[in-house]
Structure 1
Amino acid sequence: MKWTSALAIYLLIWAFSTFFVLPFHGRRAEDDAVPLIDGQEPGAPARFHPLRILIQITIVATIAFALFYVAYINGWTNPDVLSGRA
């Protein structure tokens, strides 16, 4: 696998990892009894930590890519194997 292909696959997995990580950051302002600012959505996060979220997304994506790469090296992602023709 070329390094550019690996990078593209990693970035794709990284983007999809956001859908796994973000639901775990659901502390609402209502839950923390933080006073709302005019115009603030009550369901919005009370405290937003983007660096922490980016680090968690990167960790999840790196683990998922490592699993994919092991499967690629062992030939488990071969289309013939996946379709049952091999």
Structure 2
Amino acid sequence: MNWYAIFAIYFLVWVISAFVMLPFGIRTPDETGEVLLKGQADSAPTNFRPGMVAVRATILSAVLFGAYYANYVEGWITINMISGYHGGS
């Protein structure tokens, strides 16, 4: 696997991890006791911290990509092992 593929796959895993991590740790005004501003949605977060989301996404993506790369190198699970796959045409 070349460096471009490694970077591209890691980047995709990181973006997916960032979306997965978005809702964790978010509190609404009802939960924090803050007053809603005029026009503010009830579900709008009051403590969004993008830096924390990035750190959590980096940790999760490193673990997931590490597992993917270890499987790629060691061949633990291959396409031929997946149930129902019988090869080409």
TM-score bracket relative to the smaller structure? 0.7 to 0.9
Q: Which moved more, 1:27-36 or 1:70-79?
A: 70-79
Aligned residue in 1 for 2:49: 49
CA-based RMSD of the aligned residues comes to 1.8
Q: CA deviation at 1:79?
A: 2.3
CA distance in 2, matches of 1:4, 1:79: 22
Structure 1 unmatched ranges of 5 or more: none
Structure 1 ranges of 4+ moved more than 2 A: 76-85
Deviation at 1:81, TM superposition (A): 3.5
Structure 1 residue 77: Cα displacement: 4.6
SS of 1:31's partner is: helix
- Give the distance between the partners of 1:3 and 1:80, measured in 2 at CA: 26
CA contact (8 A) 1:76 1:82 kept: no
TM-score where L is the length of structure 2 = 0.82
Q: Flag the 1:71–1:10 CA change in 2: closer, same or farther, 3 A.
A: same
**What's the CA shift for 1:36?**
1.3
Q: Distance in 1 between matches of 2:5 and 2:78?
A: 16
Q: What is the aligned residue count?
A: 85
Contact 1:17–1:57 (CA under 8 A) maintained in structure 2: yes
Identity %: 33
How far off its partner does 1:20 sit? 2.1
